[in-house]
Amino acid sequence: MPATHSVGGQPVPVPSVAGLLLFGQNPNRFLSQAGITAAAYPSTEKDYSALMDRIRGPLVGLFQLTAGGQAELLIPGVIDRALAFVQQHAAESEQLVGAVRTAFTHYPPEAVRESLVNAVAHCDYLLSGTDVELALYTDRLEVISPGHLPNGMTVDRMRAGTRATRNQLVLDVLKDYRYMEQRGLGVRLKIIPLMRAHNGTEPDLLADGDRFTVRLWRS
C-alpha cells in the first residue's frame, strides 16, 4: 500500500520512490536523477560533438488494454529506449568470414541489456543531480551507475555471483517483467562469458568511490 498524507483533511496516496521509477509517466518531475543520460562520442574520449539523449520516463513500458483486450504500449520504458540508442549508434559492421560477407554486432545485445538493467536496478536514487550514464566510444561501451556497491558487495564477490540488493522492489518488478532472470548472476553468467565468446575481451568492472562502471570493449 502507498503511504498517505493529508490534504484538506483528506488522505492522499503518496507513491514510493520505486513506484515512481517503475510506473510514473514523468518520474523526473519528482526525481531529477531518474533516467539515463546517453552519449555517443566520435572518438575514444569525451567530446562536445557527442550525440546526446536524456532518456526519461518509467523504467518499464506503460501499457493500457484496448477495447479488444490487447495490451497497447503507451510509453516505452527507459531500459528499452537505452538499448535502442546502443543499436542505433553502435551499428553493425560487415566482416569477411571465408568468402562470405557477414554482419557483425560490436556488442552482444544480452550483455548490454544486462549492464543497463543492473545499473538502473542498483543505482542509489538518494544521490541527487546524477543519473545512470551510458557512453559509447569508438573502442568501448560504458554504463555507469551512481552509488557505492550495496551491502558490502565487492567486484570479486560480484564475479563470483554473490547477491546484494539496494532497491528490492525495483528488482522484483524487473524480474516480473522478465528483464532479469537469476539475481546476482548476471555478471558471472551473462556479461563476462558473452563478451569472451563474442570477441575474446574481458569486461572491466570498476568500483570507484560513489559510482560503479561496467566497461565492454569493442574488438
Residue 48 CB partners (closer than 8 Å, separation 6+): none
C-alpha cell at 197: 565468446
Confidence of residue 95 (pLDDT cuts 50, 70, 90): low
Rounded to whole angstroms, the maximal C-alpha distance in the chain is 77
- Architecture per CATH, 36-217: 2-Layer Sandwich (3.30)
Distance CA 212, CA 79 (A): 18
Tens of pLDDT, residue by residue over 33-81, are 899 999 999 999 999 999 999 999 999 988 888 888 888 888 889 999 9
For residue 209, the 8-state DSSP code is T
The dihedral formed by the CA atoms of 38, 42, 44 and 49, expressed in degrees to the nearest 10: -70
Tens of pLDDT, residue by residue over 178-200, are 888 766 678 988 999 999 999 99
Distance CA 42, CA 50 (A): 7
pTM of the predicted model as reported, rounded to 2 decimal places: 0.85
